Amino acid sequence: MTPKRRRRRQEAFLPYLLMAPALVLLAGILYPFSVGIYYSFTSYWLQYPKRFRFVWFDNYISLFEEALFDRALQFTLGFTVAAVILQVGLGLAVALFLHGRIPGRAVLRALMLLPLMIPPVITALMWKIMMASTNAGIINYLLSFLGLGPVNWFGSPWGAIASVLIIDTWGNLPFVALILLGALQALPTEPYEAARVDGASPAAMLRYITLPLLSPFLILAGTFRAMDSLRVFDVIYATTMGGPNDATTNLHIMAYQFAFQWYQIGKGMAQAVVLLILVVLVSYLLLRLWNRASERTVQ
Amino acid sequence: MTPRRSLVHIGTALAAAALLFWTVFPFLWILLTSLKSPGDIISVPPTFIFTPTLDNYAALVIGEQRGQYSSTRPDFPNYFLNSIIISGGAVLLSLAAGIPSAYALARFDFPLKGALAFTFMSFRFVPFIAFVIPLYLVYQQLGLYNTYSGLILAYQLITLPFTIWMLRSFFQEIPLEIQEAAKIDGCTWFGVLTRVILPLSMPGLAVTIILGFIFCWNAFNYPLMLAGRQTFPVTVGAIQFISYEQVLWGQMAAATLVSALPQLILSLMVQKYIVRGLTMGAVK
């Protein structure tokens, strides 16, 4: 072998060599994961190890017969739709607002990072303190000035749903707002100048220039939020634990309960796989939409 | 000024005030709560004026029984230390494995490149429970349950894909010409990496480290299932103030602020890059 050829062969192996440490870690992660997928086809129950056997799709079929699964699926999807609409809508409003000439804009922008970057479970605990359902809770006290309440935040089904939604929105609204603000600041100025010459109103410019140009970013922000809302866990765990009466039990919490409260590993994994498929499906559809929207704006 | 314009000004100011209130008030209220005695915390209506006390913070640090300030969770300083050890360890391991990988994905062409990059990205889609159930079982067998090394390995699910994608996007921004010039001067791939790529992407490296640390610090569900009392980080530690008998509101408020403090400082340091980090480089 000539030295040159040997060198070329080394070059061919080099990328794999460079990736070797990460691939070892990847294998270490994928091994338990694939074992987990296998368990979803078995009757693995930690308390009854002797009953372990391969049951094909029994876990998946039994899920769809479970009344709670139906409700958890409904809550998962309903929560996701509500959270995405609320957060993208308000995020757009905040981004448009901060894009204007606002006193103290830089300070507001920096402060908005704080809810975004602190641990979600800590956010949940902060709001748990504020949403105490007695009159000692500050939120109910403030609402009383508006003639509202007192709301039984975590004790009533709708109160619990609302509180999880509010807490999730407080933590993630800045994410959407910052993406959209960045996009707004990078928009081309020519269309606006042309529209101004034509005497277009600000509302018309928003409707016919800003929103179409912004649409890929709206969809992308919505995709990220949908992915996370489908599997929201920390906030629910720290506040309602899925209650009251399972009103805030989503697929993630339900899978957790199956696996770690009742030790039904097989059923818990089947739930996890269903949730994973749901996340992949929704992200795939939204990313396709995003692709189409970005192609349209480039044209 | 016309009346209409001044109305717009007032509206803008009100909206700015509302946004400020919505963002900051929770922090202020928790700060006040953390400075209250148990009696003030449950007063109806809530008080804004009271004699502040540092007892909640003292209970957090010392954890001793002090009359009605009994802390049932005396090891919060330990949780804080655990968070530093686990997050720091996870970031270091991810850097060690991620730098060469990011370099390979940014600067080499090889058959499996796209597939490998996508595989790492795909972790972002998996609900944590799908990883944590099998990890929990494997860790019990291997003795990794409730150990730092077990948690650092599990946290690779958070930091490794992130590190690889972020560093790859930073490495790709370095002009190819500089790299080629270094090669002509006789640099091997290792020389290119250590003398050209890494020094030129120091800001990107710093951002990746800080954001990776923040994401690890924020992790709750992996340690909830894989850690025990000796290795709990602050996120799991803070939730221990809720017990069946009572919620220690004051200490929990103090604990949430202490847990959030590193994030508040770190996120201000990297504010320009946060969106890029949260979208794994998809939005710059």
For chain B, say whether A151 makes contact (Cβ under 8 Å).
Answer: no
Instruction: Check if A287 contacts B (Cβ < 8 Å).
Output: no
- A83 with A23, same domain? no
- CB contacts of A121 in chain B (<8 Å) are 220, 235, 238-239
Chain A residues lying within 8 Å of B219, measured CB to CB? 119
Q: Is B168 left (phi over 0), alpha (psi -120 to 50) or beta?
A: alpha
Whether residue A82 is found in the same domain as residue A22: no
Task: Say how far apart CA B105 and CA B99 lie, in whole Å.
Answer: 10
Highest mean pLDDT, choosing among A145-159, A268-282, B189-203: A268-282
Q: How many residues does chain A have?
A: 299
What is the structure's pLDDT at B231? Answer: 92
Say yes or no for a CB contact (<8 Å) between A12 and B110: yes
- What mean pLDDT, rounded, does chain B reach? 87
Considering the domain architecture, whether residues A77 and A22 belong to the same structural domain is answered as no
Distance, CA of B270 to CA of A189 (rounded, Å): 28
Fold category of B76-278 in CATH: MetI-like fold (1.10.3720)
The fraction of chain A above a pLDDT of 70, given in percent, is 95
Name the residue among B145, B159, B136 with its Cα closest to residue B219.
B159
Residue in A15, A23, A119 nearest the CB of B259: A119
CB contact under 8 A, B275 and A136: no
Q: How far is A143 from chain B (nearest CA, A)?
A: 12
Closest CB to A125 among B131, B189, B239: B239
Structural domain count, chain A? 2
Q: What local confidence, expressed as pLDDT, does residue B28 receive? A: 93
Q: Do residues A199 and A148 both lie within one domain?
A: yes
- Domain match, A129 and A276 both: yes
Give the number of other Cβ atoms within 10 Å of residue B227's Cβ.
Answer: 23
**Residue A54 domain-assigned?**
no
Question: Are A85 and A205 contained in the same domain?
Answer: yes
List, in order, residues 6 or more apart from B22 with CB less than 8 Å away.
A170
The single-letter code of the amino acid at A124 is A
Per the domain annotation, does A25 fall within a domain?
Answer: yes
What is the model's pLDDT at position A278? 94
Say yes or no: A86 and A163 in one domain. Answer: yes
Residues of chain B with CATH 1.10.3720.10: 76-278
Whether residues A5 and A91 share a domain: the answer is no
Asked, for residue A10, whether it belongs to a domain, the answer is yes
- Residue A39 is assigned to a structural domain of this protein: no
Q: List per-residue pLDDT tens for chain B, 284 residues long.
A: 567 778 888 888 898 999 999 999 999 999 999 998 888 887 878 888 888 888 888 888 876 544 444 555 558 888 999 999 999 999 999 999 999 999 999 988 888 888 888 888 888 888 999 999 999 999 999 999 999 999 999 999 999 999 999 999 999 988 888 888 888 888 888 888 888 899 999 989 999 999 999 999 999 999 999 998 889 999 998 888 876 667 788 888 898 999 888 888 888 888 888 888 888 777 76
Distance of alpha carbon A192 from alpha carbon A209, whole angstroms: 8
Contact call for residues B19 and A97 (beta carbons, < 8 A): yes
Cβ–Cβ pairs < 8 A, chains A and B: 241
In a domain, A37, yes or no: no
Residue A288 lies in a domain: yes
- Is it the case that residue A56 has pLDDT exceeding 90? no
Confidence of residue A299 (pLDDT cuts 50, 70, 90): low
- Give the position of tokens 């072998």: A1
- Region A7-34: mean pLDDT is 86
Residues of B in contact with A220 (CB under 8 A): 279, 282-283
Distance of alpha carbon A183 from alpha carbon A176, whole angstroms: 11
**Is B110 close to A141, i.e. CB distance below 8 A?**
no
Terminal CA-CA length for chain A: 52
Residues A90-122 have pLDDT tens digits of 999 999 999 988 878 888 888 888 898 899 999
Give chain B positions within 8 Å (CB) of A183.
283
Of A113, A129, A279, which is closest to B271 when you measure between CB atoms?
A: A113
Q: Which residue of B has its CA nearest to A100?
A: B12
From residue B247, give the alpha-carbon distance in Å to each of B71, B90, B177, B251, B253.
11, 32, 61, 9, 11
Are A123 and A266 members of one domain?
yes
Query: Which CATH number does the domain housing residue A137 bear?
Result: 1.10.3720.10
- Residue A155, min C-alpha distance to chain B (Å): 16
The alpha carbons of chain A give a radius of gyration, in whole angstroms, of 25
Q: What is the spatial distance between Cα B263 and Cα B282, in angstroms, rounded to a whole number? A: 23
Out of B126, B221, B275, the one facing A233 most closely (by C-beta) is B221
Residue A269 and residue B260: Cβ atoms within 8 Å?
A: no
For residue A174, which residues of chain B lie inside 8 Å, CB to CB? 23
Asked if A276 and B125 come within 8 Å (Cβ–Cβ), the reply is yes
The whole-angstrom distance between residue B97's C-alpha and the CA centroid of its chain comes to 20
Q: Both A11 and A112 in a single domain?
A: no
Which DSSP letter does residue B192 get? I
Residue A196 lies in a domain: yes
* Residue A44 buriedness (CB in 10 A; 0-12 / 13-18 / 19+): buried
**pLDDT tens digits, residue range A210-239?**
999 999 999 999 999 999 999 999 999 999
Q: Which two tokens stand for residue A252?
A: 């993630």
Range of the domain at A23: 1-31
A122, A238: one domain: yes
- Residue A248: the pLDDT is 93
Helix/strand/coil for A42: strand
Structural contact between residues B121 and A257, judged by C-beta atoms closer than 8 angstroms:
no
CA B28/CA B26 separation, integer angstroms? 5
